[in-house]
Structure 1
Amino acid sequence: MTLQKRIEILVQLGQYMQENSEDWQEIKQKAFVHNGWFLPDFIDLSVNNITRYFLQTEVLQNWVSQYPDLAQEPASPRLVGIVMAGNIPLVGFHDFLCVFISGHRCLIKPSSKDEVLIKHLVAKIIEWAPELDEFIAFAELLKNCDAYIATGSNSTAGHFEYYFGRFPHIIRRNRTSVAVITGTETKEELEQLADDIYLYFGMGCRNITKIYVPQHYDFESLINIFKKYDYLADHHKYKNNYDYNLALHILNNKFYMSNAALLLVEEKSLFSPVSQLNYEVYENIEMVKAELNQSNDVQCVVGNGFIPFGHAQHPSLTDYADGVDTMQWLATLR
Structure 2
Amino acid sequence: MITTTAIVAREPEQPLSINWTMEEVEVYTPGEGEILVEMRATGICHTDIVLSSVPAGTSGIQYPKILGHEGAGIVRALGQNVKSVEVGDPVLLSYYSCSSCAPCQSAHPAYCEVFAGENYVGRQGGMKISKNGEEPWSKYFGQSSFARHSVVSEVSVVNVKDMIKSEDELKLFAPLGCGFQTGMGAILNSSNAGPDDVVMILGLGAVGMGALMTAKIRECKAIIVVDKVEARLEHAKRLGASHTINTGTPDEPNLKDAVRQVFPSGASVVIDTTGVPTLIEEGLQATQKRGKLVLIGVPPLGYELNVDVVQHINVSDLDPSFKLQKVLTIFYCK
When normalised by structure 1's length, the TM-score is 0.29
**Structure whose residues are more often helix by fraction:** 1
Q: Which structure would you say has the larger Rg?
A: 2
**Structure whose residues are more often strand by fraction:** 2
